[in-house]
């Protein structure tokens, strides 16, 4: 359930962040877009287990939060690229920290 008021306690900013970037695919999408601009099918190839519908949904949600930019080029067929916005790039240290911690966690499991 999404909060509407984040003044509840000191943990609420963490909850607000996780509501926006949390979930199975958003972190991976952001990670890939931090390194370079990608077209839709490039993202699908990078994440072969995501469905087209889910990728579209996740991209729209990230775009609605001004984290990514969807650029449509007037070509036939239409060319669409996704990139990080300036605001989205502020997530760089967060995504890098998650990557570092995830690597350590996976080593811990093995």
Place of tokens 């087209």: 52
Give the pLDDT confidence of 32-56 residue by residue, as tens digits. 999 999 999 999 999 999 999 999 9
Ramachandran class of 50: left when φ > 0, alpha when ψ lies in -120 to 50, beta otherwise: beta
What pTM was computed for the model?
Answer: 0.85
Q: What is the pLDDT of residue 31?
A: 95
pLDDT: is 5 or 26 the higher one?
26
Kindly report which listed range (15-19, 50-54, 68-72, 86-90) carries the lowest average pLDDT score.
15-19
CB atoms within 10 A of CB 93: 8
Q: Tell me the three state secondary structure of residue 65.
A: coil
Q: Domain segments of the chain: what residues?
A: 12-109
pLDDT: is 110 or 68 the higher one?
68
Kindly report which listed range (15-24, 81-90, 100-109) carries the lowest average pLDDT score.
15-24
May I ask the CATH class of domain 12-109?
Answer: mainly alpha
Kindly state the helix (H) or strand (E) to which residue 39 belongs, with its residue range: strand 38-39
What average pLDDT score do residues 5-27 get? 80
Strands 79-84 and 68-73 turn out to be antiparallel
């Amino acid at each position: 359930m999404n909060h509407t008021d984040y003044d509840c306690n000191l943990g609420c900013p963490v909850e607000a962040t996780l509501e926006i970037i949390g979930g199975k695919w958003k972190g991976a999408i952001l990670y890939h877009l931090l390194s370079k601009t990608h077209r839709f099918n490039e993202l699908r190839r990078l994440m072969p287990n995501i469905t087209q519908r889910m990728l579209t949904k996740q991209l729209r949600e990230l775009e609605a939060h001004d984290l990514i930019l969807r650029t449509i080029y007037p070509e036939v067929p239409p060319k669409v690229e996704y990139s990080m916005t300036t605001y989205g790039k502020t997530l760089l240290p967060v995504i890098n920290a998650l990557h570092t911690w995830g690597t350590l966690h996976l080593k811990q499991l093995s």
